[in-house]
Structures are given as structure tokens and as C-alpha cells.
Amino acid sequence: MSSVDGFLPAWAWVLLEDYVERTLERGGNRAPTGHDTLVQLGRLWPDLACTILVQEPWMGTIRFKRLARLRGDAMRPFLDDPEGFLRERFGGGKFKINLHHGMHFVSTKNFRPSGPSRWAELPEVAEE
């Protein structure tokens, strides 16, 4: 499945598909239909989150500064236009996006929008 019936952009579905299918399999559904998958994604959705981090120089090396944590529907503007979302809010830089379901790590993806880095002046978001 390249996307989930308009629920998610294809690029985001690629990051979530294996996890959604594993949760179905753990629940005993080894041959899910597209409908099963969409229903399962709907169940998982409220507890899915993405953490937006940016790579920054630190003491002769690099570290990742947490800029935002978005959950469920709050992720939609980011998922619809990740480069635009990052550029508009944080400027340019090397960003890492980590997807989680509750405390479970799901996937990661890197983005590198161009432009001045406005994120340097922002405070780091506390880890939950």
C-alpha cells in the first residue's frame, strides 16, 4: 500500500507501515486487509507522536536539540509539508524526525531544508 486512503502522505506511511503491520500480527491478524490496516492505524493514531530534533555543533562534536513533539492530529501540518513546516518554524538545518507510539520507537527520517537557522535561539523542549 503506497498510502493509507488519504489518511497519511505516502512518505509517512513508508515509515509507519511495518510497525502497524507488526501490531496487527501480534494481535493475531497475519493477513490484514487494507481496511484492517486503516482501522489499526486509526487505533494507534492518538498515541503516535513525532519528535523534531536538529543537529547542532556542541563541544567539538554534535548533539540533537529537541525542538518539538507533536501528537496525533497535531502532526498533520508537518506530515502534509515537512520541509515547509520545518523551514517556516525553525529555518534551515539538519533535522531528524523520530516517530514513536507511546514509548516505542517506530522510525526516523532526516530532512535538510535550506535557509537561515532560526532554531538556534529557541529553547530546547524537555524530554517526556
**CA distance linking residue 48 with residue 120, whole number of Å:** 27
Domains of the chain by residue range: 10-121
Q: What is the DSSP letter of 112?
A: -
pLDDT given for residue 5 in this prediction: 59
**CA distance linking residue 9 with residue 119, whole number of Å:** 26
pLDDT given for residue 1 in this prediction: 42
Buried b (16+ CB within 10 A) or exposed e, 112-125: ebeeeeebeeeeee
For the chain, 128 residues long, the average pLDDT of each consecutive 10-residue run is 69 96 95 92 96 94 96 96 98 98 97 96 91
pLDDT given for residue 128 in this prediction: 76
**CA distance linking residue 93 with residue 111, whole number of Å:** 8
As a dihedral over the C-alpha atoms of residue 128, residue 104, residue 80, residue 122, rounded to 10 degrees, the angle is 30
**CA distance linking residue 2 with residue 50, whole number of Å:** 20
